[in-house]
Amino acid sequence: MVKEKLKVLLVEDNPTDALIVKKRIQRDNAFEYDIAHVVSGEDALVILEKNFFNIVLLDYNLPKKSGLETLKTIKAKNIEIPIVMITGQGDEQVAAALIKEGAFDYLPKRDGYEDSIPLMIRKTIAEFRAKLERENLQKEIVLRKEELEKTNAQLMKLDNMKSDFVANIVHELRTPLTIIKGNLDNIDKGFAGEVQPKQKEILGDIFRVINRLSRLVNDLLDLSKIESGKMELNKESLDIVKLAGESVKAFETLASSKKIGLVKEFPDKLVIVNADKDKLAQVFVNLLGNAVKFTDNGNVTVKIIDLQGEVEVRIQDTGPGIPSDQLDKIFDKFVRVLAETKEGTGLGLPIAKDIIVLHKGRIRVESESGIGTSFIFMIPK
């Protein structure tokens, strides 16, 4: 096995000590050592500026420029290399000062100290490399963070551009849709002449398409307001039981046509919440509409529980349920996790969630395939 080559700079003015240290290092089998020896701090600085070394063994007591002064100069020149100070000064204060000035470690110069040098080299090299890895990792993390922040800023800018574009398109669509619907209504009522049965049937198909487009436009408008932070709440004290009852009543005809039941489990008293009536009504309509749409038999149950400080509303159906691997997508925009044959924009549930969140409430879904689904939201009083 080929050994790693390790370049060592030994700074020692005592030739006997230098020879002893070099011989002891060369007997170590951990690396293939290439040892350079200089006798002064000045020589050490010159050779370090021109050559690469893995480690420096620096004697504390040097002529002219001391080991401590040499250490300070190496650090001042930003030469990134681990330095082990070899000192005959047994004082712990001296050792602490050396570490403070940038020495990676130190070794007291006592009898037999040379036997500890190979172990000190191995330990220092391992710790220094680990330190470099940590620093490189930290730099990489900072770099990645900056890149992510820049990418996120760009995405936010694009998202705002998208929201502005959608809002502009929606506003452009609302007026012509209103005009088309109004003119069709006039034709349907006979203001442009008698309408034949076949024409009536065609008009009915057109009305359904126009109504669907109108719902899409309204949903997109709500979404753009929420995303841009322009949706404002006009809160008032209202009876959520009464509001829920009115919302259920609006679906009686549709539920009856599908032969499914609408069950109300309401408290026998007023339950007052501070909320935006129109927005909260929209939540009921979106959740009830979703429940009725996906229920082909059984019941849709609306339950209200008066709690301390908040109200729990549970809208439960006996539909096909939602697969467990799709539950985390249920509130995603433009996503329909159930039957593709069902009409919908994929915006009703995300809008309902956003409205509840605007009220500082919470919403969640519970579902079991083949059993049914429950949407539960909590709203502060």
pLDDT the model gives residue 13? 93
**210 vs 70: CA distance, rounded Å:** 85
**46 vs 79: CA distance, rounded Å:** 12
Q: Which residues pair with 302 in a beta bridge?
A: 264, 315
Q: Could you report the average pLDDT of every consecutive run of 10 residues in the chain (381 residues)?
A: 90 93 93 94 94 95 90 92 85 79 89 92 94 92 92 84 72 79 86 85 84 77 73 91 94 92 94 94 92 92 95 95 85 64 68 92 92 95 91
pLDDT the model gives residue 335? 63
pLDDT the model gives residue 340? 45
Residue given tokens 């689904």 in the structure block:
373
Name 339's Cβ contacts closer than 8 Å, sequence gap at least 6. Answer: 294, 320
Structure tokens at 131: 């330190």
| CA distances, 289 to each of 217, 251, 262, 281, 285 (Å) | 17, 8, 12, 12, 6
| CA distances, 26 to each of 22, 33, 129, 299 (Å) | 6, 6, 22, 87
pLDDT the model gives residue 91? 66
Name 123's Cβ contacts closer than 8 Å, sequence gap at least 6. Answer: 105
pLDDT the model gives residue 64? 87
pLDDT the model gives residue 53? 96
Residue whose C-alpha is closest to residue 286's, from 366, 240, 355, 189? 355
Structure tokens at 88: 């005959």
pLDDT the model gives residue 341? 46
**375 vs 78: CA distance, rounded Å:** 63
Residue given tokens 């995303």 in the structure block:
227
- Name the burial class of residue 254, with classes exposed (0-12), middle (13-18) and buried (19+) by CB atoms within 10 angstroms of its CB: middle
* In the chain, alpha helices (H): 15-26, 41-50, 67-76, 92-100, 117-188, 197-227, 240-249, 252-257, 277-293, 348-358
Grouping H, G, I as helix, E, B as strand and the rest as coil, residue 59 is strand
pLDDT the model gives residue 347? 81
pLDDT the model gives residue 222? 75
Q: How many residues does the chain have?
A: 381
Domains and CATH numbers, the chain: 5-110 (3.40.50.2300), 153-227 (1.10.287), 235-380 (3.30.565.10)
- Name the burial class of residue 246, with classes exposed (0-12), middle (13-18) and buried (19+) by CB atoms within 10 angstroms of its CB: exposed
